[in-house]
Structure 1
Amino acid sequence: MLPCSFFILPDSNITYVYWSYIPRSSRTKVYSWVQGKVFVDDSPYVGRVSMDDTFTLAITQTTLQDARVFVCQVGAGSLGVGENRTELRVYKAPEPPEIHANEAGISVGTRESQEIAECVVRNSFPGPNITWLKDGHRLHPEDDKVKIMDTRTQEASGLFTARSRLLAHVPRQDRHAYFQCQAHYLLAGGDRQAQSPKVQVHIFYPTENVSLAIDAPRPQVKEGDHVALRCQGDGNPPPEYSFFRVQNNTATGEEEEQELSGKADKGVLSLGKVHKENTGHYRCKGLDLDTMETLTADAELVVNYIEGLKVTKESPEPVLEGHNLTLTCEARGSRPLAFHWHKDKKGKALGSGQQLQLSNIMREAAGNYICEVTMPGVQGLSRNKQVLVVVYGKPQVSVEKPGVPVQENELVTLTCTALAQPEPSITWSANGTVQNRTENYSVVSNLTVQVTSKLMRSGINCTATNYLGVVTHHVHLERRMTPTTPTTTAPAGNATAEQKPQESKGVIIVAVIVCILVLAVLGAVLYFLHKKGKIPCGRTGKQDITKPDARKDEVVVEVKSDKLPEEAGLLQATNGDQKPAGDQGEKYIDLRH
């Protein structure tokens, strides 16, 4: 946008406006306005220029060739002609800087300066400038230490491409340094900058030191750990490595090197899972192929171990109940050891030290005793060994039930368990079918026998025997109650009882029901006789309802009521005449008719 700046009196009229450019000395019109009419002149700007109401000229699709002087001329009739000039400048930002490090590398020992990297900045207008940075700090040309060689080329498009080469003597300390270039260019509004990515240069230098380290999971190596020897030199390229085990010749007193077989990958030699035999003095050698100098480094490997673990019992065999027992744990190791005792795999801790004292042993103390040996300061190194302690004693006998409810002639099965070492034998005082089995140092015996009256009187004995003693347990056979339930048959006029075995609660319930039924039958009989007129009502304690002189073939039945007042009331109620309990007495029933 090129503005046309001018001043004119308020009452004056503008007759024309011409826009021209000056390629050299002459002018070339590009746009004209004459008394309200627009004319686009034949020029390279046809189709790319336009003008608004303020006579500002707009140019589109700007190129580098548009960088020239434009003239705005304004005519105002009798007031004369005025013009102003505008210089159009065109800027083009470059592409991001490209940096290419020296892939061949640089040797520290070379006296001449060597190229570190080249920087290229393309397609900029006007042409850019290039500077260099090392670890963020600008480099300046410095005699023979740092050289910067710049070139600039204008392409056919009119844009510029700049190139810069950095040459320098690089010391060993620069092996970790980062280099980058920076482009400086102009844009409307001021100076701009663009930086390239950072690069490192391969620097070759001789080996000055070699170190040997032990690669292990932990500082204190134990048997079974994966261990490797790591040899490292500080040269680039690294030296050739070889590994040796060093031993002293007892005869000559001199060192002897035994080269270790195996491929050392990048200075690492794996020893695999180590054992105590791997303990010793190791050496690494590094050969610098440039200087042909050999450097060495040594290291000591100590493999910690525990061996010779055993547990002994210091008492006569077998161990008897009530006796004492001493367990002793022995082991050897590369360092001082710690001893711990516990019973079974997940049992509680019993103590520490090489000996475990067990006093007044009971059969519950039988089982596996474990001695665990650890090496303080060596993580993960432990060994354990267990010993079985068997306690001998006379049998312990138990039965499922000391009293068994039975009925005569039925088959019952009794169970007797005997716990002891040595294993006991079980006998029964009754003849029957016996089945024995062994479970966890105990014998379980099942006796199946038919119940007789003799067995119910005497009971049955279970006897367990071993050479340390005899123990007998008595099983009492209890008679099981069998309640009776009355049933009636109308035609026959007699009653039969069906016996069924019941539990104690069932027996009580049946007895109550039977009593109620008997009372109901008796009440019905009395009520029936009363209706027939056989029983007169009265309040006397005793009434004679028979004739004074009874015949010998006549039967008189005396019924005495021992019922509670409530039951008496029920009987009276059946007669329709209730009487107090105090009026109840002896009654005579005439059964002659």
Structure 2
Amino acid sequence: QVRLCHITGGDVQEEDTDYKGRLSVGEDKALSIRKVTVQDARTFVCQVGAGTYGEGENRTELRVYSEVPARLSPCSGLSLLLQIAQCVSRNGFPLPNITWHKNGERLQPEEKMVKFATTRTRESSGLFTVSSTLFAHVTREDRSSLFHCSVHYWRQGQSLTMDSRRVNVTVFYPTEHVDLHVMPSSVLLKEGDDVRLVCEADGNPAPVFSFSKRQLEDNWQDLTPLADSSTGVLNLHNVTKSSSGLYRCQALDLDDMKQLEKEVELVVNYIEGVHVEKEPSTPVVEGGSVKLSCDAHSPVALDYQWSDAKGRKVGHGNQLFLKNLTFETSSSFSCKVVAPSVPGLERSKQVAVAVQGKPRIVSISSPLYVRQNEVVNLTCKAVAFPTASVHWNVNGTAHEYIENKHIASNLTVRVSHDLLQAGATCRVSNALGFSEEHIQLLDRKTPESKGVIIVAIIVSILVVAVLGAVIYFLHKKGKIPCGRAGKQDITKPEARKDKIVVDVKSDKLPEETGLLQGANGEKRPPTDQVGQSVVCCP
């Protein structure tokens, strides 16, 4: 026995042993050992002395277990090589055990198929190193198999297991099958797509790939310079109708110089020959009709859609009928050809529809209220095709604006007396005819002149009323006799001296004479309203 420490009262004295510096004693006199190793697996004795009463002791056994690290080293080789992998467990205690597994299933020794070679080494530290090598017969099917080892060990009476990582064994085998795929394979191809031809072989190492395309008279065009011969991929960018055809992939196994091949048909869908016919082909007169026909060629079914210059849909089908055409009708139409079975495959063609006719005036500035000597703008707008020109029957400064089929003319002119009375005429003409419109000018009175006219009318009414009262008064006095007819024209020069002639003149303008009306409410001409009066006897 070797004494490790001595405790007197509260003082602990360590002896010079391998445990010095790793021991500690608690208040309950419990002994603790730090950094335990396998060499510490032994029996420890606790002795207690009580002077004349004697001594007592007790023993405890310390067992030390070691975690077993497992290291797996895979091996590679041909299918005839048997060494698969090596598993090593170092510094284990007690002695661990190693087992082998393939794809999760435990392997058992089998003659000419599975064999284990195991070595066990006890190190100077007392720990064990265990090495196990797996030998097995592998086939082509083992190219994706995963192998691993498991180390089984004991700790505190329990059996524990530690697994290594999974490894794959490289297996070499000749090529037996070749496949050629078109990618993407889930959609129908169309012009403009990018396509990959992928050639796959089941040999390891992979064979050397070459590509070719069949031409006329069974000749084959070599496409290998465009492909990656190591990965077996041929990229075709922006394919067209001419890209369609039969493609071949050849795989050459360099181990046995055996060559296998596979072919695939590449179909690129397209739309070509889109054209639109117009009946009649000559320009259409306004109010006429036209028929548009659209046609195209494709290996798949097609739909036809029509739209105008603003993109609005106007019809469906390969024919479009347009009736009662006007200048405002769209000048162009588009036929869009769509292949419903091939997403994204479509083509378009535009056609111009020219509607011609004599000009049609759509807007003029009439009636226009003006003042004499005022400078005004006269406006005339029209639509026509072929292009028209605008002429005025009065002199002035004209400015024309032409946009597509529309033409507008602004005439700057000073209002004269003649222009105010006669107005102006806008004439728009082209090769097919002319149209003209008259612009009426109306005199616009000032507020001051209207006030003077109203005052004059009121004064005239008052004068007539006063004169009527005077005549009535003179009649009552017998100063004014009556003839047999009961009335007499007082404006005649030959009237007698005892007759009173009343001459009422008005300064009203001709257009305002309507304020004076006859007995029945009808308007009377100025000559009947001014300078006459009738006196009746009772």
Report the TM-score, using the length of structure 2 for normalisation. 0.76
Match status 1:359 vs 2:330: no
Partner amino acid, structure 1, of 2:44:
F
1:91 is matched with: 65
1:273 match: secondary structure: coil
Residue range with higher mean Cα deviation, 178-187 or 53-62: 53-62
CA drift of 1:281 comes to: 1.2
- Select which of 336, 339, 353 maps to 1:375: 339
Cα distance between partner residues in 2 of 1:443 and 1:476 = 21
Are the counterparts in 1 of residues 365 and 380 from structure 2 also a CA contact under 8 Å?
Answer: no
Are the counterparts in 1 of residues 309 and 330 from structure 2 also a CA contact under 8 Å?
Answer: no
Are the counterparts in 2 of residues 106 and 203 from structure 1 also a CA contact under 8 Å?
Answer: yes
Alignment map for 1:320-469 (pairs within 5 Å): 320-353=285-318, 355-469=319-433
How large is the Cα RMSD of the aligned pairs? 3.0
CA drift of 1:285 comes to: 1.0
Name the % identity. 44
Match status 1:198 vs 2:171: no
Cα distance between partner residues in 2 of 1:35 and 1:245 = 100
Are the counterparts in 1 of residues 12 and 25 from structure 2 also a CA contact under 8 Å?
Answer: no
Are the counterparts in 2 of residues 433 and 449 from structure 1 also a CA contact under 8 Å?
Answer: yes
Cα distance between partner residues in 2 of 1:37 and 1:472 = 133
Cα distance between partner residues in 2 of 1:40 and 1:396 = 126
Relative distance call for 1:303 and 1:60 in structure 2 (3 A) is closer
Relative distance call for 1:450 and 1:44 in structure 2 (3 A) is closer
Relative distance call for 1:414 and 1:72 in structure 2 (3 A) is same
Partner amino acid, structure 2, of 1:459:
G
Relative distance call for 1:280 and 1:59 in structure 2 (3 A) is closer
CA drift of 1:295 comes to: 1.1
- Select which of 437, 442, 454 maps to 1:478: 442
2:141 match: secondary structure: helix
Cα distance between partner residues in 2 of 1:217 and 1:396 = 60
Match status 1:307 vs 2:307: no
Relative distance call for 1:31 and 1:340 in structure 2 (3 A) is closer
Are the counterparts in 2 of residues 342 and 351 from structure 1 also a CA contact under 8 Å?
Answer: no
Are the counterparts in 2 of residues 215 and 229 from structure 1 also a CA contact under 8 Å?
Answer: yes
CA drift of 1:336 comes to: 3.3
CA drift of 1:452 comes to: 0.8
- Select which of 55, 70, 94 maps to 1:126: 94
Partner amino acid, structure 2, of 1:270:
N
Cα distance between partner residues in 1 of 2:176 and 2:48 = 83
Partner amino acid, structure 1, of 2:159:
D
Runs of at least 5 residues in structure 1 that lack an aligned partner in the other structure = 1-26, 250-254, 485-498, 500-506, 516-593
Cα distance between partner residues in 2 of 1:187 and 1:379 = 67
1:519 is matched with: none
Relative distance call for 1:177 and 1:419 in structure 2 (3 A) is same
1:69 is matched with: 43
Cα distance between partner residues in 2 of 1:39 and 1:225 = 88
- Select which of 222, 243, 255 maps to 1:278: 243
Relative distance call for 1:44 and 1:234 in structure 2 (3 A) is closer
Cα distance between partner residues in 2 of 1:431 and 1:217 = 77
Match status 1:165 vs 2:133: yes
CA drift of 1:241 comes to: 0.9
1:456 match: secondary structure: helix
Cα distance between partner residues in 2 of 1:415 and 1:36 = 124
Partner amino acid, structure 2, of 1:97:
A
Are the counterparts in 2 of residues 119 and 165 from structure 1 also a CA contact under 8 Å?
Answer: yes
Cα distance between partner residues in 1 of 2:304 and 2:161 = 74
2:304 match: secondary structure: strand
Are the counterparts in 2 of residues 366 and 391 from structure 1 also a CA contact under 8 Å?
Answer: no
C-alpha distance after superposition, 1:73-116 (max 9, x if no partner): 5677898766543322222223x4222222xx3323x2xx5222
Cα distance between partner residues in 1 of 2:236 and 2:27 = 91
Match status 1:106 vs 2:106: no
Partner amino acid, structure 2, of 1:424:
A
Residue range with higher mean Cα deviation, 211-220 or 387-396: 211-220
Cα distance between partner residues in 2 of 1:218 and 1:85 = 79
- Select which of 189, 203, 208 maps to 1:221: 189
Relative distance call for 1:248 and 1:400 in structure 2 (3 A) is closer
Cα distance between partner residues in 2 of 1:469 and 1:176 = 89
Partner amino acid, structure 2, of 1:293:
K
2:167 match: secondary structure: coil
Residue range with higher mean Cα deviation, 52-61 or 154-163: 52-61
Residue range with higher mean Cα deviation, 125-134 or 304-313: 125-134
Are the counterparts in 1 of residues 174 and 255 from structure 2 also a CA contact under 8 Å?
Answer: yes
Relative distance call for 1:345 and 1:271 in structure 2 (3 A) is farther
CA drift of 1:39 comes to: 7.0
2:328 match: secondary structure: helix
C-alpha distance after superposition, 1:56-85 (max 9, x if no partner): 544444333332233445677898766543
Relative distance call for 1:248 and 1:427 in structure 2 (3 A) is closer
Cα distance between partner residues in 1 of 2:424 and 2:329 = 32
CA drift of 1:385 comes to: 0.7
1:297 is matched with: 262
Cα distance between partner residues in 2 of 1:345 and 1:116 = 74
Cα distance between partner residues in 1 of 2:391 and 2:13 = 139
C-alpha distance after superposition, 1:281-311 (max 9, x if no partner): 1111111112221111111111222222211
Are the counterparts in 1 of residues 364 and 439 from structure 2 also a CA contact under 8 Å?
Answer: no
2:441 match: secondary structure: strand
Relative distance call for 1:200 and 1:274 in structure 2 (3 A) is same
Relative distance call for 1:310 and 1:58 in structure 2 (3 A) is closer
Residue range with higher mean Cα deviation, 153-162 or 168-177: 153-162
Are the counterparts in 2 of residues 262 and 269 from structure 1 also a CA contact under 8 Å?
Answer: no
2:227 match: secondary structure: coil
Runs of at least 5 residues in structure 2 that lack an aligned partner in the other structure = 457-538
- Select which of 243, 258, 280 maps to 2:221: 258
Partner amino acid, structure 1, of 2:428:
A
Are the counterparts in 2 of residues 373 and 382 from structure 1 also a CA contact under 8 Å?
Answer: yes
1:93 match: secondary structure: coil
Relative distance call for 1:298 and 1:482 in structure 2 (3 A) is same
Partner amino acid, structure 1, of 2:350:
Q
Partner amino acid, structure 2, of 1:342:
S
Alignment map for 1:10-49 (pairs within 5 Å): 27-31=1-5, 43-46=17-20, 48-49=22-23
Are the counterparts in 1 of residues 327 and 383 from structure 2 also a CA contact under 8 Å?
Answer: no
Match status 1:208 vs 2:182: no
Are the counterparts in 2 of residues 216 and 225 from structure 1 also a CA contact under 8 Å?
Answer: no
CA drift of 1:401 comes to: 2.7
C-alpha distance after superposition, 1:363-405 (max 9, x if no partner): 3324111111122311211111111111112222133531222
Are the counterparts in 2 of residues 99 and 196 from structure 1 also a CA contact under 8 Å?
Answer: yes
Cα distance between partner residues in 2 of 1:392 and 1:37 = 125
CA drift of 1:420 comes to: 0.9
1:304 match: secondary structure: coil
